[in-house]
A = this chain, B = another copy of it.
Amino acid sequence: MRRCLELAAAAAAADEVPVGALVVQDDIVLAEARNQVEAQRSPLAHAELLALQQAFVRQGVKRLPGAVLYCTLEPCFLCAGAILHSRVHTVVFAARDPKFGAVRSLATLLEDPRLNHRCVVREGEGAAASAALLRAFFRGKRGADPSLPLPPGPDQP
């Protein structure tokens, strides 16, 4: 998770919403990515999705059944859907995302008994650091554009 937070900080330094993700299997990092929505000019260039796509390219496999995905923010529906298709075993996320989170906040998609795959979910590790990065980033943005939404607060880990 420390490396995830470094990736998130690197995203912020590049003027991207600070989110980082890592795919790990058997203690080996298969892929890592940070949010690249601005760089790629695509709202789909989320850290989790990019890390998974990279893992598939590198491994040449269609599933990652023994993998753990670490990320600094609760995955949204796009990323949670990608996680399910990837058959990732465990997802560890730091801060909750009360607006878009599909794992705990708006839904529990990774544990939905109707779907053909379920993940072990762990949350909280690094939550304060991740929330601090997000808050600082959005505060900076709000300085430039006060119409931007407020980020999750410290009471929303």
Contacting residue for A49 out of B44, B57, B63, B77, CB 8 A: B44
The residues of B that contact A107 with a CB separation of less than 8 Å are 107
A37 to B63, CA, bound (A): 11
Docked-complex contact B116 and A99, CB < 8 angstroms:
yes
Interface members, chain A 68-105 (any B CB < 8 Å): 76-82, 84-87, 99-100, 102
Q: Chain A 95-136 against B: per-residue CB contact (8 Å), 1 yes, 0 no?
A: 000011010001101001011100000000000000000000
A37 to B114, CA, bound (A): 22
- Which residue from chain B places its CB closest to the CB of A38 in the assembled complex? B62
Docked-complex contact B62 and A81, CB < 8 angstroms:
no
Min C-beta distance of A62 to chain B, whole Å: 5
A80 to B78, CA, bound (A): 7
Query: A interface vs B, CB < 8 Å?
Result: 37, 40-44, 49, 52-53, 56-57, 60-63, 76-82, 84-87, 99-100, 102, 106-107, 109, 112, 114-116
Contacting residue for A76 out of B44, B52, B81, CB 8 A: B81
Min C-beta distance of A144 to chain B, whole Å: 17
Min C-beta distance of A71 to chain B, whole Å: 15
The residues of B that contact A84 with a CB separation of less than 8 Å are 77-78
Contacting residue for A43 out of B44, B62, B115, CB 8 A: B62
